A and B are shown apart, each in its own frame.
Chain A
Amino acid sequence: MAKVHVTTTINGEPMEFLCEPGDTMLDALRGTLNLTGSKEGCASGDCGACSITLDDRLICSCLMLAVESQDHEIRTIEGMAQGEKLHPLQQKFLEMAALQCGICTSGMLVASDALLRKNPKPSEEEVRFWLAGNLCRCTGYDKIVRAVMETAAEMRAQ
């Protein structure tokens, strides 16, 4: 089958790639584009390890076709830090031990970032419901929720 040519923006950079019409965005990111920060835990939209944003909307990249990114803006974990400067969420996850094995971490960070952009003052319950699509088997979520809440408080104070 002929491949499709896609022009898009990823983490602020213009990008072009070829993909099969049936490839998911996650396939394109991890395969063709070699952006392996987004992880595949289930390929069915149930674990959130592949979370990215499409025009600032949080989505599972395993549920989106790569061709659908044409002319849109994609953000992945690789676009979260600015050069040497970590995003406050990344810094807080490190300081508060909000990761153990780290396989869920990219997705958790992308999803938390999307939450704080929408709602800079989430309650614990709002954080828990927002992150309910991101499975973590290691941490029991406690430290992740705390890190998100504390980052939000610090970002508001600035």
Chain B
Amino acid sequence: MNLVTNNKWIGQRTIRPDGMDKVTGRAQFAADTTMPGMIWGKVLRSPHPHARIKSIDTSKAEKLPGVKAVVTARDIVDFPIEKGAVMLGIQDMRWMCRNVMARDKALFPGHPIAAVAATTEAIAAEACELIEVDYEVLPWSIEIDDAILPGAPILHEFNKFDGKPSNIVGRLEHKKGDIAEGFKKADVVIERTFTTRPVHQGYIEPHACLISVAPDGKTTIWSSSQGQFMVRAMTAYLTGIPQSDIRAIPAEIGGGFGGKTIVYLEPLATLLAKKSGRPVKMVMTREEVMRATGPTSGSKSTVKIGATKDGKIVAAHGTFYLQAGAFPGSPIRGAAGCSFTPYDIPNLLSEGFDVCSNRSKVAAYRAPGAPIGAYAVECVMDEVAEALKMDPLDFRLKNAAKEGTKAAHGPVFPRIGYIETVEAAKASPHYAAPLGDGHGKPRGRGVASGFWFNAGGESSAQVNITEDGNVVVTTGHPDIGGSRAGIANICAELLGIDYRRVSVIIGDTQTVGFSNLTGGSRVLFASSMVVTQSTEKIIQTLRERAAKIWEIDPEAVKWENGAAHPVSPNAGQFEPLTLEELAEKAPAMGGPIGAGVQLNTTGADGGFGTHVCDVEVDVDLGIARVIRYTAVQDVGRAIHPGYVEGQLQGGVAQGIGWALNEEYIYTREGKVDNPGFLDYRMPVCSDLPMIDCIMVEIPNPKHPQGVKGVGEVPLVPVMAAVANAIYNALGKRFYALPMSPPKVLEVLEAPTREAAE
């Protein structure tokens, strides 16, 4: 570990610029915003998993006193399927326009059918009930196995797979070498099939927006999302309003984890506001969030790994079927592309299949697809290591990807830190500690590794010096987990001033240059690049100003500790000019000081992590508890260690929920049966231990501060680490998630039942 220690602010646990607002209740999230004259919007949703919409009669609803506008799919811009894909980022507008409001067919229970705006929320809800919809209910399928059966009800007739209408809407493969030849060389081959259930991102803040449309079409959107530019673009596409007329203002966002990278309410509220002439507010209930947003895919994966006696993996084959929900677009790229990537495997085939079924359209969830793939691969890795009688971390070390390894999805790795994470896990006090006595409850330890691509992409920043010599940084990425703190640290470090003098603002779409989503573990990577370049431009200006005042060459001026100094006594004898002094003299010396940079950032290296997990199982109740957890990750460089650890700990907590409890449960009627926090059981405080973090810092050479994305890797290895620990405790393997108490009991009691039969 090469911790950089000579910095003043980079690497320090400073207080985040937006913290005060958040601990005092002042921070404005989307649902906290109101406007004079505002009315409320509500959505009518399909009760059926699959139904043709024969007609919609809104006349009774329109007559209800207090109702100001009603919209249906007719009001939304249509992107005809035959005309081909209309991509906006990774989203196809053909699906998006049908997801925000059903056209022709309702494809999942909760699918919006119509929306109403009225003077109160209660009247809007009442009006929704007055809308008459004539449905022709169709057969449906929820699970992958049902959806890919011959004769399964087809969601999208236009889609063909192997020449026939199918619910398989996409396939991709990554290939290296020849797996048939590779498996021939193997001494040990293990093949297993795994299933996982859909899980929701589970952000605590439900989707919300407030939208005003003036008679000339000028539109203002306040909403919580992972990207105000995405909100602007998607709303423009779906309503026909030009992007230049839409100002999307980012409210504070109460969690997203990928689930707020698409729009649900904004286009509907915009159309309602346009029709009614009144600002419209829409807020989802928790039940609506659970029925009609997110989740990530359920899956079925088969993984086969072959290794020689000396512990070298010679071949691997993975097949990953992922649920897309109602429209194409499950994260097969993450599952097929990430799960074998920690390893140098000469012969590899990794295939992903995208499968539609009558569930809500999946949305990104923290390293989309990668945790699903890693669960299967890392469990089989454990079995192979055991068959070879090798320590599971040694087995990983023996096969670890490193600089020069060619990954199946394309790149040849530069200097990466995977091996360092495995070594740090091995050397951790956790790995060396005895498991301890569970007083009758078996204990076990498991490990697993994970990889996520990380991303760069478009980012913009503006840095301005105020007249009193302080700094305002404006970036275009919503701050979802403390990124403002990292930016303040970097800007203060470069300028050599106290971080409290830097204020960091998230600009709206009309005040800062295009910036892509907060997602993909890209925000601090990308925004610190543009902030760095803007700040460097400012330092150049400050040197020029000082040079002018001193009447010397700008090259003879250096910037240090927040002030201009002559580079050496030869340059002249001058008292330093501080940022405050230069700001004060700015009007007379060339005008305001500020600089902006827009970039398409590149060089975001992939991220790797290795986790160690201890569990204790109550065999009478079937309850598995995680009692100790250590997450090791190559974080490049921790600009604000507190928030880097927070990302690791938060990801681990989500993974423990996914491993042990979380799942969508369906009724026989094809409806989600647990659409609330009581029955959809996310981890609470008393379910978890402290979560130890080991931050390995291998700086990213392509980034000015060495930053690598950190937000997503922490979720990738967790389910496998928990499953491997449970195996270690019980001697029994679980091939399905979640490993919830009834399922644990079922497996524990299985042999007894067999013996009794």
Contact = CB atoms under 8 A, between A and B. Distances in A.
A2 to B, nearest CB: 15
B13 interface: yes
Contacts of A144: 685
Interface string B189-208: 00000000000011111100
A127 B688 CA distance: 12
A90 B29 CA distance: 19
B254 interface: yes
B20 interface: yes
B25 A133 contact: no
A103 B478 CA distance: 14
Interface centre among A40, A124, A132 (most CB of B within 10 A): A40
Q: DSSP class of A's interface residues: helix, strand, loop or mixed?
A: loop
Contacts of B651: 140
B650 A140 contact: yes
Given A41-B206, A47-B204, A78 B25 contact: yes
Contacts of B32: 30, 36
A77 interface: yes
A8 B535 CA distance: 52
Interface in A18-58: 30, 34-44, 46-47, 49
B252 to A, nearest CB: 7
Contacts of B283: 40
Interface in A120-146: 124-125, 127-129, 131-146
A137 to B, nearest CB: 5
Contact of B286 (A30, A44, A132): A44
Interface stretch (B308-316, B392-400, B676-684): B676-684
Contact of A137 (B640, B643, B647, B682): B682
A128 B686 contact: yes
Contacts of B19: 93-94, 99
Interface centre among A34, A103, A124 (most CB of B within 10 A): A103
Given A100-B481, A128-B685, A140 B653 contact: yes
A86 interface: yes
Contacts of A135: 204, 677, 682, 684
Nearest to A41: B204
A103 B29 contact: yes
A105 to B, nearest CB: 5
B684 A138 contact: no
Interface in A82-107: 86, 90, 93-97, 99-106
A39 B204 contact: yes
A36 B25 contact: yes
B95 to A, nearest CB: 26
B678 A46 contact: yes
Interface in B7-25: 13, 15-16, 18-20, 22-25
B223 to A, nearest CB: 14
Given A133-B684, A137-B202, A97 B646 contact: yes
Interface residues of B, number: 60
B594 interface: no
Given A100-B650, A135-B682, A137-B203, A41 B252 contact: no
Contact of A142 (B28, B676, B691): B691
A9 to B, nearest CB: 18
Contacts of A138: 255, 481, 646, 650
Contacts of B653: 137, 139-141
Contacts of B496: none
Given A49-B204, A97-B642, A105 B686 contact: no
Given A40-B31, A41-B206, A131 B685 contact: yes
Nearest to B640: A97
B686 A101 contact: no
Given A41-B204, A47-B204, A94 B684 contact: no
Contact of A37 (B25, B256, B485, B691): B25
A92 to B, nearest CB: 10
A102 B27 contact: yes
A100 B204 contact: no
Contacts of B687: 132
A109 interface: yes
A142 B16 contact: no
A58 to B, nearest CB: 14
Given A76-B25, A135-B684, A142 B690 contact: yes
B462 interface: no
Interface string B638-661: 001011011111111110000000
Interface string B598-641: 00000000000000000000000000000000000000000010
Nearest to A49: B204
Nearest to A38: B25
A124 B690 CA distance: 10
B286 A90 contact: no
Contact of A39 (B29, B34, B682): B29
B253 interface: yes
A81 interface: yes
B685 A137 contact: no
A80 interface: yes
Contact of A102 (B22, B643, B647, B677): B22
A31 B355 CA distance: 43
B510 interface: no
B254 A39 contact: yes
Contacts of A93: 19, 23
Contacts of B205: 39, 41, 101, 103
B171 interface: no
A138 B25 CA distance: 18
Contacts of B647: 100
B482 interface: yes
Contacts of A102: 18, 22-23, 27, 252, 254
Interface centre among A34, A43, A136 (most CB of B within 10 A): A136
Contacts of B649: 139-143
A17 to B, nearest CB: 16
A140 B642 contact: no
A137 B22 contact: no
Contacts of A133: 684
21 contacts: A35-B25, A36-B28, A36-B29, A36-B31, A42-B677, A46-B677, A77-B25, A94-B19, A101-B256, A102-B23, A103-B204, A103-B252, A129-B685, A131-B685, A136-B685, A138-B646, A140-B649, A140-B651, A140-B653, A141-B685, A145-B690
Leading 9 A-B pairs by shortest Cβ distance: A37-B25, A103-B254, A97-B642, A140-B649, A102-B22, A140-B653, A46-B677, A77-B25, A36-B32
